[in-house]
Copies of this chain bind each other. A is one copy, B any other.
């Protein structure tokens, strides 16, 4: 664990080449799975020699962590911006239903199973993302007049996440029976909840949006 320093030179994190290597790695991971992400194949895809990968990343673990981290941060930022602009249930579902995110998660969780260094990183991200999301869902539900007992925010979120994940997973296998029906069903269910929200606003009930979004 207490890694020996190792005097080896390491390239700057700001390097353009480094970014290209990470891009190549990410493409490989998406297209062929994590086992295809090797220093040689990354370099080949980026038109470089494989030793250059080791110049920019001390170990492959470092590379994977970096790969995960930059996408995770981008993801959190994207979600938070989108939610700030439109925190409706419909938008939350749209964001979660993006199959790219689910496929990415899937691959990294499988990876974490045998790269311990990644596991901690992924867990930390998962927790951060979860608490940020659950808050948004909670606000959206309160907005629609859904009581916490009727449907707890965490349950709604796990259902959305789970559904998105299964759909994405099956898509990669080419199994898509019932997917349209399901997406449609969820869309309708959300529309109904949002209609409730509109009713409340018309009848003068103030949105809870204004008062108590404490936590986090």
Interface residues of A in 129-167 (CB under 8 A from B): 130-131, 134, 151-152, 154-155, 157-159, 161-167
Closest approach, in angstroms, between the C-beta of A106 and any C-beta of chain B? 6
Q: Does A210 contact B (CB under 8 A)?
A: no
Contact across chains for B166 and A181 when beta carbons are under 8 A apart = no
A123 CA to B162 CA, complexed, in Å:
19
Evaluate whether A166 and B162 lie within 8 angstroms (CB atoms) in the complex, with A110-B106, A114-B36 already known. Answer: yes
Task: Convert A91-119 into 0s and 1s, putting 1 for each residue whose CB lies closer than 8 angstroms to a CB of B.
Answer: 00000000000000111011111100001
Q: Does A172 contact B (CB under 8 A)?
A: yes
Contact across chains for A154 and B177 when beta carbons are under 8 A apart = yes
Q: Does A202 contact B (CB under 8 A)?
A: no
Contact across chains for B110 and A33 when beta carbons are under 8 A apart = yes
Interface residues of A in 157-191 (CB under 8 A from B): 157-159, 161-167, 169-170, 172-175, 177-178, 181-182, 185-186
